[in-house]
Each structure stands twice: as structure tokens, then as C-alpha cells.
């Protein structure tokens, strides 16, 4: 099947595989169409179907509240063509090289980190290159829709993607992950995706504010910055929020990153529901602990330290909103230096 993307910069025609959605076909074909979550929640991938049969994958996708269905608008990430079609996308959309791609993967190294957080790897059939901070969409046969998760590892080219997932109530994928037998399962991987990326060439100090599994992409940033020696000359201030001491995960890895660059990397874990006990400081001696909401702890510690900063934010929506407000109003960072992906 063919999809024609009508844009202000001209028409782009790409091949679409059976069952593939318009967004993935476009990105895979090098058309730089707009998107954020890639899973039906944000509404950014709005388009208008001008011609041809297109089926909606998820009728109740929250992102559909942003489209005018009476004008034949839909979400590219939820629209699956069943024949040749033409879609109109707002803006000057150009063709690029090296778009994301789809491939099979196998789940391995499944491990429970806390009562509601697991980590696992997906072993790829062919290597993938991605920037620290990017994500991939995982699709399991038999479970409707894809789930977007940031990679926690980073290297120039990897044949294994590492993920961390916090359980959400009522999620089919989460139920399978926590209650099923995920080890060895085959799944589809589409990526890399996302623009909340870390690029050492920008020469910025890094500020990360994360809640729960939002720490995932920031682990990749810390990995990249540490392995490349970036933190020999640039600062990283990392604030990681969880509820209680029992909810802390990746403590060992965060402790290691601080010890690798003790003058430049600072990590503070903020507990929202209790005061940190002495046991935590003993287990992770190079990490600082504080009580409070993570964005408030970050605001207090970062006062007057926003020089040459790029801010990364990920986590539950109220935390993300609070952190973004702080980066705009207090840190006065321009939009280009505030990075987050709207998924979840």
C-alpha cells in the first residue's frame, strides 16, 4: 500500500505494510511528521484523511479529543490504512534519512526492582543506533496498542535495549508484564523515537528531574555522559522522586555515576511520603536524600545554579507540570533547552 503525505513542502509518498499505522509508515519512510507519544495520548500527530480507507486502531485514544472527526481528522499513530490513501499534515514536512524502523525483539533479563517496578531487556534482531533520552514503542501480539518506554542504556549501536516499567493499574501490557511470563516473549519494537535527547556537542550542563520510571531516559544520559568523559567538564544535577525508601531503584547505578565524576555529578533522591532513613545513606553513600516533592527539592537546590543548563523532565503529569513551571519561571530556560516527551 502507498500513503501520500500532503504537506506545505510538497507531497511525499511512502510504502505502508499491512497493519502498520500512518505515523510509523511515514517516519520509517523518512517523512518527518509531527508526533510526541506515538501511542495515542498527546494529539500531536493530527492529520486529515483526504482519500482512501483508514481504520482507527483505538477508538477511545485520549489524543482524539484534539481532532475534528467531522472534518475527517484522525491521529496518525492510531490510523491503519487498508488501501492506498492520502493524508494532509500541517506544516512544512521534509524528508529525512535514517528514520526509525520496526523489528522483532525478544524479552530477556526480566527482574523485579521494587513491588511495582520491573526492568527487562529486549534483544534485537539487528542493532539500533539512538541518542540518549530516546524511546521505543513495544507491541505484544495479543495485546492491543503499543507502549512507549525510554531506553535506560546507551551506546553508539546496541543489539539490546534496556527498559524500566512502573506498574499502572488497568494496563493490559503491565498486567502481562507483572503477572504473566514475559521472559523469552517475542514482541515488535519500533524506534528510536523522541526529541528529549542529550547531545554532548551542545556543551550544556544537564539538569534532570524525574519521577518514578521517568528516570529511564536520564539513566541513558548519565551513561552516555559518564562513558564519554563529558562530566569531566560539564555538570549533571539529577533529582529523582519516589514515594518512600522502599520505592528507590537504580540506587547502585546512580551512586556509581556520582562516584565516577564526584565533582560534576550530583544526584538527589527525593522521598515525597516520608523522611529518608539513615539506612539509605549507608546503602548509597554518594547520593543525597531529601524529603518533599522532587520538583520542589530541585527548585530549592538549584537556586542561582542555572548557568548554561539544558533541563530534562519525565514522570507523572503533576510532577512534570511542576518541573516545567520551575524551568520556565525560575530557571528562565528557553523552550529549546527544556526537553520532555509526552507519553504515559
Nearer to ligand FES, 75 or 89 (CB): 75
Among 3, 31, 75, 132, binds ligand FES (CB under 6 A): 75
Asked if 319 touches ligand FES (CB under 6 A), the answer is: no
- Torsion sign (Cα): 112, 113, 116, 117: negative
- Torsion sign (Cα): 99, 161, 77, 38: negative
How many residues touch ligand FES under the rule CB under 6 A: the total is 13
Minimal distance in Å, beta carbon 19 to ligand FES? 17
Among 14, 25, 32, 77, binds ligand FES (CB under 6 A): 77
Q: Are 154 and 224 in contact (CB under 8 A)?
A: yes
Cα–Cα distance measured from residue 15 to residue 228, given in angstroms and rounded to the nearest whole number: 38
Nearer to ligand FES, 38 or 132 (CB): 38
Minimal distance in Å, beta carbon 219 to ligand FES? 24
For the beta sheet containing 117-128, the strands, ordered from the edge strand earlier in sequence to the opposite edge, are 147-150, 135-139, 186-193, 101-114, 117-128, 158-166
Q: Which runs of E-coded beta strand occur in 57-195?
A: 73-75, 79-81, 85-88, 101-114, 117-128, 135-139, 147-150, 158-166, 186-193
Minimal distance in Å, beta carbon 205 to ligand FES? 30
Among 5, 16, 26, 63, binds ligand FES (CB under 6 A): 63
Minimal distance in Å, beta carbon 66 to ligand FES? 8
Say if residue 200 is exposed, middle or buried (CB neighbours under 10 Å; 0-12, 13-18, 19+).
Answer: middle
Nearest to 15 by CA among 81, 104, 94: 81
The cell numbers describing 315, all together, are 514522570
The cell numbers describing 285, all together, are 553513600
Minimal distance in Å, beta carbon 137 to ligand FES? 10
Nearer to ligand FES, 197 or 268 (CB): 197
Nearer to ligand FES, 148 or 206 (CB): 148
Nearer to ligand FES, 134 or 268 (CB): 134
Minimal distance in Å, beta carbon 102 to ligand FES? 16
Binding mask 31-60 for ligand FES (x = CB under 6 A): ----xxxx-xxxxxx---------------
Minimal distance in Å, beta carbon 264 to ligand FES? 35
Map the footprint of ligand FES across residues 161-220, applying CB under 6 A: none
Using alpha carbons, list the distances in angstroms from residue 284 to 268, 275, 278: 11, 16, 10
Residues engaged in binding ligand FES (CB under 6 A) = 35-38, 40-45, 63, 75, 77
Amino acid at each position: 500500500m502507498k500513503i501520500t503525505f500532503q504537506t506545505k513542502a510538497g507531497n511525499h509518498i511512502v510504502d505502508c505494510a499491512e497493519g502498520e499505522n500512518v505515523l510509523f509508515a511515514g517516519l520509517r519512510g523518512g517523512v518527518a511528521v509531527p508526533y510526541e507519544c506515538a501511542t495515542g495520548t498527546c494529539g500531536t500527530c493530527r492529520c486529515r484523511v483526504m482519500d482512501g480507507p483508514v481504520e482507527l486502531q483505538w477508538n477511545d485514544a485520549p489524543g482524539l479529543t484534539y481532532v475534528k472527526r467531522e472534518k475527517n481528522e484522525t491521529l496518525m499513530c492510531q490510523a491503519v490504512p487498508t488501501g492506498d490513501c492520502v493524508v494532509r499534515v500541517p506544516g512544512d514536512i521534509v524528508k529525512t534519512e535514517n528514520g526509525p524502523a520496526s523489528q522483532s525483539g525478544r524479552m530477556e533479563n526480566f527482574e523485579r526492582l521494587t513491588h511495582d517496578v520491573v526492568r527487562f531487556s529486549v534483544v534485537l534482531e539487528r542493532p539500533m543506533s539512538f541518542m540518549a533520552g530516546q524511546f521505543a514503542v513495544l507491541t505484544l501480539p495479543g495485546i492491543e496498542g503499543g507502549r512507549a518506554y525510554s531506553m535506560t542504556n546507551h551506546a553508539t549501536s546496541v543489539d539490546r535495549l534496556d527498559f524500566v516499567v512502573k506498574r499502572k493499574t488497568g494496563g493490559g501490557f503491565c498486567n502481562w508484564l507483572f503477572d504473566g511470563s514475559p521472559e523469552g516473549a517475542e514482541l515488535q519494537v519500533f524506534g528510536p523515537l523522541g526529541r528529549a535527547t542529550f547531545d554532548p556537542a551542545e556543551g550544556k550542563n544537564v539538569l534532570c528531574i524525574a519521577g518514578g520510571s521517568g528516570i529511564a531516559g536520564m539513566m541513558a544520559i548519565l551513561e552516555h555522559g559518564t562513558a564519554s568523559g563529558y562530566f569531566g567538564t560539564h555538570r549533571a544535577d539529577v533529582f529523582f522522586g519516589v514515594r518512600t525508601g522502599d520505592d528507590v531503584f537504580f540506587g547502585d547505578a546512580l551512586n556509581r555515576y556520582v562516584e565516577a565524576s564526584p565533582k560534576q555529578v550530583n544526584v538527589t533522591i527525593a522521598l515525597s511520603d516520608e523522611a529518608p532513613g539513615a539506612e539509605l545513606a549507608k546503602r548509597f553513600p554518594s547520593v543525597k536524600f531529601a524529603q518533599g516533592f522532587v520538583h520542589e527539592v530541585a527548585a530549592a537546590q538549584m537556586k542561582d545554579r542555572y548557568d548554561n543548563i539544558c533541563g530534562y523532565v519525565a514522570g507523572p503529569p503533576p510532577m512534570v507540570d511542576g518541573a516545567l513551571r520551575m524551568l520556565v519561571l525560575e530557571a528562565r530556560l528557553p523552550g529549546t533547552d527544556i526537553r520532555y516527551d509526552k507519553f504515559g
